[in-house]
Chain A
């Protein structure tokens, strides 16, 4: 069929949509980020780098980066670590492995917005199950932990409205939601580790699980880890549902949970400040693309063994 033009009929629609839906917006965002455009206004003024200057100097955006990075750098290591830990534990038990796998994967399937609302209930200071459970521990050995004793005396934290706790609580929900996904990827990675390597390690004198892990499991999971870390980064950078559900206005106590996706939403959609929203979009895209490129580079360079 060479020589016909069939292929352009096949590739054409996809190509058109790729350009219009994926590439054009990047151009538009970049263009708008240099203006003070807002929807409904006939024109827009060119403001040069003003929007970017704001992003990198104003305290609101400092809080935005702070909240985003705090969230990302808590959620990524913990959800990857817990995912790996759960996968290793499940892989090494003889029974009930499938049951645990199913349970840990449930949060991945559930709509995050729904679960966020439920968590809000669970964290409710008076009727929430979390604090009422914690109160039951009062008067036991747990009180020897000063934080716990303090909680018993003056009441446990208002998890979602205390600015010292808010971001960590939101991050906790992010970990809760994401680690099952990582676990499943790690389980898939583990099944592809040749059994003979463990036997070889055993013969070579790797007696402890620790030795075997560092000699075989961890290096063999290298490609999986690179992928899991990248996808966790990208997913946690995009956190929005929980933040919007808990703090529809303003990004939490003292803007402590003012993450980037929420900032874009607030500035551009709620306040119709398209210029600054576009600038945040561009910065955001730069982060995400940089991470993905690092991943591809790593995959090709280091962790590709054969």
Chain B
């Protein structure tokens, strides 16, 4: 069993703090994604785990061993870089063989020309290993090519191959898909997830793309300003964000945020809406109400607790139609999801009415923290479901 843990990691470049006390335990075999906007410190965290950067504070443990002072080469981790970092002068096969050569061969075996003669047996084994990995990645026909002769996707596979050819404790991936075109990127998502399932090795994956994080991870850590805001399964992060920044970052189109108020009884009010669930939080005043586009639905005029607004833009994605509606005296704009049936009849400029689907609204306090809501028994009767 291998587990990796990072505790109280701090790092700053010059006077700029990058990581402020990160604690993270990675369990064996999981696919963990570090996701966040650029500059949030996710890549730095990965590089500290890899050993390419030294943390100012805190420790990195692999299998219970503190590895702060262990060089990257000795941590037995494999990394896939954003630019792939393939050696341009070596063929794909030689690129993939490099980690094996450097780790498993003696100095004599690594000598040019002489090496393959001295350690003939090892070389044969290594070639077999490379061939095997190449077959898994379907690049066995490219082994003799130089990286310069490969397409982006093929380079991506070669870089994966170089990481996979040995059996590392974990694979570290630093935005590996960001240099691919959109279609290939989506295809590679599922392929990477499958690869993870078959290898059963820990993956630590860094991305700025929340969709990648949601689709591939077992757990994801949303990072911002050098901190992990929330760590949990993609479902949990999406449905139950603990911070307004997490809620905003995850999900496309973005969550709709509307200003509201909280009264003494714990009710949240926004426009014509009053949430049925109440919060026990006693801070009376302004709050922010979060509603995901799919938690809003068009309704008839005059329906209870509906909002009214004017359609300003329509995005037709085929399966869904997103309507951009300006509400609350045109001060805010929200996006709501409609089915094609409902959506096609709506035209731009038209006034529409919509209401929320109950039980999904999220309320965030002034500091951005999530306020818990609970059903108050006597109130729920009054609520129309």
Contact = CB atoms under 8 A, between A and B. Distances in A.
Contact of B102 (A196, A205, A220, A305): A205
A222 B51 CA distance: 29
A202 B83 CA distance: 16
Summarize B's interface: helix, strand, loop or mixed: mixed
Interface in A123-137: none
Contacts of B83: 194, 196
Interface string A201-212: 111111100010
B362 interface: no
Contacts of B47: 199
A202 B72 contact: yes
B73 A196 contact: no
Interface residues of B, number: 29
Contacts of B99: 203-205
Contacts of A203: 50, 52, 72-73, 77-79, 99
B151 interface: no
Given A194-B83, A199-B52, A306-B148, A204 B89 contact: no
Interface string A180-201: 0000000000000010110111
Contacts of A199: 47, 50, 52, 72, 79, 81, 85
B316 to A, nearest CB: 41
B103 A205 contact: yes
A200 B102 contact: no
A222 B89 contact: yes
A29 interface: no
A207 B79 contact: no
Contacts, number: 72
B162 interface: yes
A189 to B, nearest CB: 14
A222 to B, nearest CB: 7
Summarize A's interface: helix, strand, loop or mixed: helix
B79 A197 contact: no
A207 B85 contact: no
B102 A204 contact: yes
B98 A196 contact: no
B98 A204 contact: yes
Nearest to A303: B89
Nearest to B163: A203
B74 interface: yes
B39 interface: no
Contacts of A196: 81-83, 85
Max count, chain A CB within 10 A of own CB: residue among B51, B83, B88, B147? B88
Interface in A257-306: 305-306
B124 interface: no
Contacts of B52: 199, 202-203
A204 B82 CA distance: 16
Given A206-B102, A207-B71, A200 B89 contact: no
Contacts of B88: 219-220, 305-306
B146 interface: yes
B146 A305 contact: yes
A207 B73 contact: yes
A197 B148 contact: no
A238 B363 CA distance: 81
Interface in A212-235: 215-216, 219-220, 222
Contacts of A200: 79, 81, 85-87, 162
A219 B87 CA distance: 9
Interface in B114-172: 146-148, 162
18 contacts: A199-B52, A199-B81, A200-B79, A202-B71, A203-B50, A203-B79, A204-B98, A205-B99, A205-B102, A207-B74, A215-B87, A215-B102, A219-B87, A220-B88, A220-B89, A305-B89, A305-B147, A306-B147
Q: Which 5 A-B pairs have the closest CB atoms?
A: A306-B148, A205-B102, A200-B85, A305-B88, A196-B85
Given A206-B73, A305-B146, 13 more contacts: A196-B85, A199-B47, A199-B52, A199-B79, A200-B85, A200-B162, A203-B73, A203-B78, A207-B73, A207-B74, A219-B89, A219-B90, A222-B89
